[in-house]
Amino acid sequence: MKATPEDQNLLIELQLIDSQITQAKTKLAGLPELEQIAAIHARLENTAVELTVVETELADVVIDLRRSELEVEQVDDRIQKDEKRLASGSASPKELEQLQHEVATLGKRKAELEDGELEIMIKHDGVKARVDELLNDQVGLKKLELELNIRLENARTEIDKTLAELAQSRAALVPKIDQALIALYDKIRLSAHGVGAALLVGNKCDGCHLAINAIEIERIKGLAVDEVIRCEECRRILVRI
Ligand SMILES: [Zn+2]
């Protein structure tokens, strides 16, 4: 194939633009914010799961606490009733003895119930603290997620702008180059990591960075400037400087 040295140079220009497009796309797909946001999502999910468990536990503890309070109240009511009866002086000696015994038993029962209530209150405070902690975590994580989303959007906007500029440059350049040369370049790019054309720097191909043997270099030197040459190693179009 033949192409003017101008076309070959423009092809290298096109390659530079295409390489920049590839780089920008790679950067877009691998923005660190994407991984950070995914990690925040995982943490939010874990927090939500634990929160459901702990909130259910808290609701149960609140019911236990109410029940315990009620039991204490009931025992207290009976003690007061018995004490009133005792104070009235209308009870018989046998009744008095029974009432005193009952008051003593109820007093013991009340103390036990109050101990139980205290334990439930301590448990309640612990569970409530964990719920508050998780809710706090959730707020912090959501705030962080929002900040990361803003950073991600800014980074994307920046890269999209670069890509749009590169696409514009590419569209302006392509019509200036021989279409058969472009077709060959595009075909090579498909199987050569997006690099279809490279400069011949000294005796090295700038595409695969391998040295070209002396005989081939001599052969290349003898070729007309409009001859399109290919790297023997990577098959990319080699453009002489
Ligand atoms: Zn090569």
Domain segments of the chain: what residues? Answer: 5-23+178-240, 31-174
CA of 241 to the centre of ligand 1 (A): 15
- Lowest average pLDDT, out of 21-35, 90-104, 127-141, goes to 90-104
Report pLDDT for 139: 98
Beta bridge partners of 204: 201, 211
* CA 173/CA 90 separation, integer angstroms: 115
State the chain's mean pLDDT as an integer. 97
Q: What pTM was computed for the model?
A: 0.77
Q: Each residue of 57-69: pLDDT tens digit? A: 999 999 999 999 9
* CA 201/CA 239 separation, integer angstroms: 9
Reply yes or no on whether the pLDDT at 79 is more than 90: yes
CA of 193 to the centre of ligand 1 (A): 12
CA of 224 to the centre of ligand 1 (A): 20
CA of 184 to the centre of ligand 1 (A): 15
* CA 16/CA 55 separation, integer angstroms: 58
Reply yes or no on whether the pLDDT at 91 is more than 90: no
CA of 94 to the centre of ligand 1 (A): 115
Report pLDDT for 89: 84
Q: What residue ranges in 143-233 does DSSP mark as E strands? A: 197-201, 204-205, 229-230
Report pLDDT for 90: 86
Residue 139 and residue 48 in contact, taking contact as beta carbons nearer than 8 Å: no
- Domain 31-174, CATH number (from 3.40.190.10, 1.10.287.1700, 1.20.1560.10, 1.10.4080.10): 1.10.287.1700
pLDDT (mean) for 119-145:
98
* CA 170/CA 24 separation, integer angstroms: 14
pLDDT (mean) for 25-36:
97
CA of 171 to the centre of ligand 1 (A): 27
Percent over 90 (pLDDT), the chain: 96
CA of 204 to the centre of ligand 1 (A): 8
CA of 216 to the centre of ligand 1 (A): 13
Beta bridge partners of 198: 238
- Using pLDDT thresholds of 50, 70 and 90, give the confidence band for residue 38: very high
Reply yes or no on whether the pLDDT at 15 is more than 90: yes
Cα separations in angstroms, 11 against 3, 185, 187? 10, 8, 14
CA of 192 to the centre of ligand 1 (A): 10
CA of 39 to the centre of ligand 1 (A): 41
CA of 159 to the centre of ligand 1 (A): 30
Report pLDDT for 149: 98
Residue 20, classified by CB atoms within 10 Å of its CB into exposed (0-12), middle (13-18) or buried (19+), is middle
* CA 17/CA 40 separation, integer angstroms: 36
Reply yes or no on whether the pLDDT at 125 is more than 90: yes
